[in-house]
Amino acid sequence: MTVDIASNEFALLRIVNMKRLSQSDNQEVRELVLAAKTDGMFYLDFSDFDSDLYTGMVNDIYSLSRSLFNLGLEEKLRYDIDTLTDLKTNGYKPIKRNLGGTPGQRDGFESYTIPPSSIFELTDEPFPRPTPIDEHWDTLRQFTIICRTSADIILQALSEALDLPAARGFESFHRQSESTLDIIRMLRYESADPAENSTMCIPQTAHTDLGSITLLFSNRPGLQLCPRGSDKWLYVKPQPNSAIVNLGDAISVWSNGAFQSALHRVASLPNRGMAERYSFGYLMRPVNNAPMCSLLNYPEGELERSIPSCQEWMQAKFVALRGKTEIGGTAILTGRPESFPIS
Ligand SMILES: O=C(O)CCC(=O)C(=O)O
Ligand SMILES: [Fe+2]
């Protein structure tokens, strides 16, 4: 797809090579830390990875996504995410259930969420699901392993950069062998006619991700980043063999703002209407009782009552995303002051 957008409308994100980062290469660690301090978003380049395996895996998840969204609405609503789970780890969200990015409008995407903990049978929670999920089970396991391993390496490198003791490192608040609230989320953005959206349409509202690390995959433009200290939205160009990594709320809160959470949204290209768009991501979350406070001077021992746990943070954010209340205003949604214009 050719994109006629001026080059200054694109974010110049840093590129971190996954293989070299896993070898603790100094230059790669430096790039990661700089990206975390500035944009909270970067490309994670899997080029030195087994490229057949990588491409096969990514294509297979797109194919799962198409099979799920092609099911009839009635079938999809049998797995309604809001009736299946409290913490929204399994099921379908129809278009328009969330807050939209344009004032007065609801969102313009449907999503299907899968819990990796159920794919790995780490929990006894019931896992109602349509058959395409079973048909792609091995890929979902492989995808989970690659994303979790990559995220863990990122967490360790960021903790070391802050000199956090191992017992309080970011990675210590993620336990891969236990059931977690991580999710794999597939999204399909509905196309919208340019005549009805003469300038721009914003099907996904501005937000920061509520967990720690998100690995995002899409081969279509539309994702936008608003860097900290700016009010300008920049497009993020998809790059081959690369995931886009977003740092979420936990990283910004734990590092006391030394690292940024990435404020992002999905918007149409200027004057183009919205093209149908598929994306998917692995969203990693800390353990439920992880404290949402700075870890730089966090004392050993019991969590203070006044500090929200990660689970409480997630619940407040879900309420804000659904746009059902003004609790916390836009601040919990965007990680920016109340006055931040979200559209
Ligand atoms: O579709 C995208 O590129 C972004 C998705 C996203 O931000 C999310 O699922 O939290
Ligand atoms: Fe997001």
Q: Residue 22 has what pLDDT?
A: 95
What is the pLDDT tens value at each position of the chain, 343 positions in all?
455 678 889 999 999 999 999 999 999 999 999 999 999 999 999 998 888 889 999 999 999 999 999 999 999 999 999 999 988 999 999 999 887 888 778 889 999 999 999 999 999 999 999 999 999 999 999 999 999 999 999 999 999 999 998 888 999 999 888 899 999 999 999 998 766 666 778 889 889 999 999 999 999 999 999 998 888 999 999 999 999 999 999 999 999 999 999 999 999 988 888 899 999 999 999 999 898 888 987 666 655 667 888 888 888 888 888 775 444 456 778 777 655 554 4
Q: Residue 328 has what pLDDT?
A: 47
Atom number of ligand 1 nearest to Cα 281: 9
Beta carbons of 246 and 262 less than 8 angstroms apart: yes
* Alpha-carbon span 69 to 65, nearest angstrom: 6
Q: How far is CA 337 from CA 45, 205, 301, 340, 341, in A?
A: 33, 16, 31, 6, 9
The two beta strands, 41-45 and 15-17, are parallel
Place of tokens 């950069």: 161
* Alpha-carbon span 310 to 304, nearest angstrom: 13
End-to-end CA distance of the chain: give it in Å, rounded. Answer: 26
235: Cα separation from own chain's centroid:
16
H-helix segments, 94-206: 116-119, 131-135, 137-161
Q: Residues whose CB is under 5 A from ligand 2 (ion)? A: 209
CA–centroid distance, residue 216 to ligand 2 (Å): 8
* Alpha-carbon span 77 to 231, nearest angstrom: 37
CA–centroid distance, residue 73 to ligand 2 (Å): 24
Cβ–ligand 1 distance for 295 under 6 Å, the answer no
Q: Residue 100 has what pLDDT?
A: 81
Place of tokens 């009736």: 83
Helix, strand, coil % in the chain, rounded to nearest 5 = 35, 20, 50
pLDDT in tens, 12-55: 999 999 999 999 999 999 999 999 999 999 999 999 888 888 99
The pTM assigned to this predicted structure is 0.94
Residues 116, 119, 125, CA angle at the centre, nearest 5°? 85
Cβ–ligand 1 distance for 267 under 6 Å, the answer no
Nearest CA to ligand 1 atom 3: 223
DSSP string across 71-101: S-HHHHHTTBHHHH-TT--SEEE-TTSSBPS
- What one-letter code names the amino acid at 111? S
Cβ–ligand 1 distance for 279 under 6 Å, the answer yes
Q: How far is CA 142 from CA 51, 232, 332, in A?
A: 14, 37, 33
Cβ–ligand 1 distance for 223 under 6 Å, the answer yes
